[in-house]
Amino acid sequence: MAAALGLSACNTGPRAYIYAGGSQASVQRTISVPRGSTASLGFAAKINPDCSRADSPDRVTLTQAPSQGRVEIRREAGYAYFRPGNPRSRCNTQRVPGTKLFYHAGPNASGTDTFSYDWYSGSGGIAHITVTVNIL
């Protein structure tokens, strides 16, 4: 059974769509976070058309750590987004197993912070994501 990874986000910036077969995407994002607060950076799910978790799991690797906060990666259920026409788009309305990413701004953080991570689909797709954080 083929699988796809859909990566969506709650802050400004484009969605990244990563499909099997070695495709890659580079994404620049900007988010705003109050000092001492947490922002959700998005949710990724590698699922089958029946909305079950695919056999080869996705993986997130932090490639550049933030200097004024920390990044947290959690395996938990959430809502994926797949484009209309994708057989998995019917899964958009239900919680599915996946990975969530969070940025926690430090209590004394100010100005901007930057970090990068790679999101591997488990079947060859990669999103290289750089995030600029405006600390409020």
Check residue 110 and give its pLDDT: 96
pTM of the model: 0.76
Q: Which residues are within 8 A (CB) of 106 and not within 5 positions of it... i.e. 6 or more apart?
A: 35, 36, 68, 69, 70
Residue 27: CA atoms inside 13 Å, Cβ hemisphere, count?
25
Domain with 118 in it: what CATH number?
2.60.40
Check residue 17 and give its pLDDT: 52
Which residue range forms the structural domain that includes residue 112? 4-135
What are the 10-residue block averages of pLDDT along the chain, 136 residues in total? 40 47 81 96 85 79 96 90 90 90 96 93 80 96
Q: What does each C-alpha distance from 135 to 27, 44, 114, 132 come to in angstroms?
A: 20, 25, 11, 10
Check residue 14 and give its pLDDT: 45
